[in-house]
Amino acid sequence: MDQFKTTGINKTRTSRQEDAVVARRRNGDASGLRILVTGANAGIGFWTSLHLARRGAEVIMACRDKRKAEAAAQAIRARVPGARLRLATLDVSSLGSVAAAVAELGRLEHLDVLIANAGMVHAPRTRQQSVDGLELVAATNFFGHFALVAGLLPVLERAPAARVLTLGSLSTLLVRPHLDDPQLQGNYSSWQAYAQSKIMLQSFAFELDRRLQRTPGTTRALSAHPGYSLSGRTPGIAGVNEPGTFKRVVDTLQAPFTQGKDRGAWPIVRAAVDPDAFSTPGAVFYGPRWLVRGGPRKATPASITTDSGPAATIWKAAESATGISLFG
């Protein structure tokens, strides 16, 4: 697809293996890449997995519900005969489940891309806790992914030019976070919980990249957002996306400034495979061309997510919540 075409090759990495990875990523080719997508059974995660499978990637679909994961995998294979898929059980809201997934996936020879996609979009109206006693939205959208990245970083580092990719959100532009209250014990609302979790996750990617660049490895980190993507504007797929007639009508009325989740996945796929992603310094962020919709392009992230001061606070909160020291 034209939106995945790029020009020039990033020559900051010099090994033959790294050059081969760059060559495979040319024009959206993902053949030979092993990519983990959390929350791959629905929404942006499903479409990201489908697009990547079409481009030849081996996709590890890490999902909480085995039945839904199998239905999503079946839907992908129906559209991509010969798709290379692997299923893994993962509930990112549970640190125990994350640890079990790390133990399983840690046996992989390598991992080229980890896409931290799973999350709660519709947060509960009142504050709830995860099985570990953490605020549920933050646990699902950020803390679990922090633990997953920490556990799988050695596997990523066994691949040349691997990437950690987190899912950002337009909500990061619209809310003032309470970083002194990362689990919203005194400032909870459903909107605050969702937007703050996305600020933390997006900030984590950029801070992780800064810290990775101070190591001898070649792994990098970046973020991407899907714009304003609605299920009612997304192709229907049995067992994956089945919006009712009312949802279709309401979402279609918003057509001028929305898109389907099939298109919302484009920036995530571009960020995963673009060989020129790190051709310029600074935080790397992708989104739709017209902010809420359109083909993928590099975008400007919310300033709070690129600020190293808040990032340090967020990092410490994640280490405290998970009990994991990353780059201690």
**If you ran DSSP here, which 8-state letter would residue 255 be given?**
G
How far apart CA 287 and CA 270 sit, in angstroms, is 9
| Phi–psi pair at 66, nearest 5 degrees | -60, -40
Which tokens sit at 272? 């995963």
How far apart CA 109 and CA 120 sit, in angstroms, is 31
| Phi–psi pair at 208, nearest 5 degrees | -60, -40
Write down the catalytic residue from 188, 194, 228, 286: 194
Q: Coil, strand or helix: which one is 190?
A: helix
Contact 226, 268 (CB under 8 A): yes
Contact 197, 175 (CB under 8 A): no
Could you confirm whether 286 is annotated as catalytic?
no
How far apart CA 256 and CA 254 sit, in angstroms, is 6
Q: Are strands 259-260 and 229-230 parallel, antiparallel or unpaired?
A: parallel
List residues with catalytic annotation. 194
